[in-house]
């Protein structure tokens, strides 16, 4: 079976003998692994590639101001010399659009139209891998880019009409970008909108339902219309809104963090496994950070076995493997992935 066939079956809740996986490495760890294997091509020789993406839809449009600062298309100023980069000045200091010109969809669609012809040719030529369009950051992320994180959360409670108008404008732009990708022969869109923290949904499940659920229902509906799958990245615990996400058409939650409340893989599978797919579950805060090489291998094999029969799963660390990870632990992970 090709990698595309394996993941297609998994996302259709069918089991496969081979467990598909996806893993990324931070730069310094990658260099250490290159030294360990004494081979520049160690990744291609030791890890199977299951996923390919040839089109990134830039929903941010960051432009460099100077060596330290950049500004996004909505006017927010970002300090880029920190890890992670830091919002210095939001676009809207007050919850009002007075004097502010909201960017048109053309700002974001034109780069898609410029780049997609080359991307289409690559998608058409690739019959081996599961093909994804990377959609960048989503609606909630952009509301706090516009307003600042605390302000955006406060707006949901004190300026509901303003916050709804902001999300509607953002969703309209997002849909225009999606529709520009309709003729791209990919299998799925990968979205990013972080709703969770260690405890639960950041703004609360009911508030999420009021403001963000309608936006994402429109987005997932457009994906279904195109005959593609929706894969959505969100950090943290979002189990409290899984029922809503299934209702509005999400196919797969990417970056499942097992250390957060209510997100143990075996519990998710038991409750939601027939309707939701999971991508992740290999704990970056637990076994990968603190486990021995043998414990890392054992957890990978446990996860592979847990989902092997019924599918609905792609194995992955919840974050890229960090530079601080011991080389012997990373090697153990690579060896275990080769055995599943």
CB 80 within 8 A of CB 68: yes
**pLDDT band for position 82 (50/70/90)?**
confident
Asked, for residue 51, whether it belongs to a domain, the answer is yes
pLDDT in tens, 85-130: 899 999 999 999 999 999 999 999 999 999 999 999 999 999 999 9
Asked, for residue 276, whether it belongs to a domain, the answer is yes
pLDDT in tens, 195-204: 999 999 999 9
Average pLDDT over residues 56-80: 96
Query: Domain of 184: which CATH number?
Result: 3.20.20.210
In whole numbers, what is the pLDDT of the chain averaged over residues?
97
pLDDT given at position 280: 97
**pLDDT band for position 181 (50/70/90)?**
very high
pLDDT given at position 226: 98
Judge whether residue 52 has pLDDT over 90. yes
Asked, for residue 255, whether it belongs to a domain, the answer is yes
pLDDT given at position 84: 83
**pLDDT band for position 83 (50/70/90)?**
confident
What are the DSSP calls for 5-67, one per residue? HHHHHHHTT---SSPPB---B-HHHHHHHHHHHT-TTHHHHHS---EEEEEE--SS--EE-SS
CB 195 within 8 A of CB 238: yes
Domain span at residue 49 reads 3-61+103-337
pLDDT in tens, 254-283: 999 999 999 999 999 999 999 999 999 999
Number of domains in the chain: 1
Asked, for residue 95, whether it belongs to a domain, the answer is no
Asked, for residue 201, whether it belongs to a domain, the answer is yes
Residue 325 has a CB neighbour count (10 Å cut-off) of 22
pLDDT in tens, 211-220: 999 999 999 9
Q: What is the sign, positive or negative, of the torsion defined by CA atoms of 143, 144, 145, 147?
A: positive
Cβ partners under 8 Å of residue 146, min gap 6: 74, 76, 90, 91, 92, 152, 166
Token pair of 104, please? 């048109």
Average pLDDT over residues 131-141: 96
Asked, for residue 307, whether it belongs to a domain, the answer is yes
Token pair of 339, please? 């055995």
Asked, for residue 204, whether it belongs to a domain, the answer is yes
Asked, for residue 75, whether it belongs to a domain, the answer is no
Least confident of 80-84, 138-142, 188-192, 271-275: 80-84
**pLDDT band for position 18 (50/70/90)?**
very high
**Is the peptide bond preceding residue 187 cis, with omega within 30 degrees of 0?**
no
* Cα-Cα end-to-end distance for the chain: 15
What is the pTM assigned to this prediction?
0.96
Element (H, E) at 71: strand 69-71
Q: What is the sign, positive or negative, of the torsion defined by CA atoms of 197, 201, 207, 210?
A: positive
């Amino acid at each position: 079976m090709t990698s595309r066939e394996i993941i297609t079956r998994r996302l259709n809740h069918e089991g496969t003998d081979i467990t598909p996986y996806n893993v990324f490495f931070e730069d310094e760890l990658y260099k250490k692994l290159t030294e360990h294997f004494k081979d520049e091509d160690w990744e291609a020789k030791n890890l199977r590639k299951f996923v390919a993406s040839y089109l990134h839809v830039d929903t941010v449009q960051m432009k460099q101001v100077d060596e330290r600062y950049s500004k996004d298309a909505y006017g927010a100023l970002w300090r880029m010399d920190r890890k992670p980069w830091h919002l210095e000045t939001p676009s809207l200091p007050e919850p009002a659009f007075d004097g502010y010109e909201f960017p048109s969809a053309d700002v974001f669609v034109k780069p898609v139209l410029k780049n997609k012809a080359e991307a289409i040719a690559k998608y058409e030529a690739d019959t081996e891998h599961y093909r994804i369009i990377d959609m960048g950051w989503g609606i909630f992320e952009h509301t706090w880019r516009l307003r600042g994180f605390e302000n955006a959360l406060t707006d949901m409670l004190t300026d509901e009409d303003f916050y709804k108008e902001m999300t509607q404008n953002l969703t309209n732009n997002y849909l225009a970008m999606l529709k520009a990708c309709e003729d791209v022969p990919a299998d799925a869109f990968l979205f990013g909108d972080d709703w969770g923290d260690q405890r639960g949904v950041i703004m609360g499940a009911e508030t999420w339902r009021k403001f963000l659920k309608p936006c994402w229902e429109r987005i997932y509906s457009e994906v279904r219309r195109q005959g593609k799958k929706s894969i959505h990245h969100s950090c943290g615990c979002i189990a409290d809104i899984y029922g809503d996400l299934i209702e509005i058409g999400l196919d797969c939650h990417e970056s499942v963090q097992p250390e957060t409340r209510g997100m143990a893989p075996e519990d998710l599978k038991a409750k939601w496994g027939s309707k939701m797919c999971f991508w992740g579950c290999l704990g970056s805060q637990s076994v990968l950070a603190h486990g021995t090489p043998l414990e890392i291998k054992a957890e990978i094999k446990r996860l592979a076995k847990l989902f092997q029969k019924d599918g609905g799963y792609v194995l992955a660390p919840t974050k890229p493997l960090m530079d601080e990870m011991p080389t012997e632990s990373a090697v153990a992970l690579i060896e275990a992935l080769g055995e599943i």
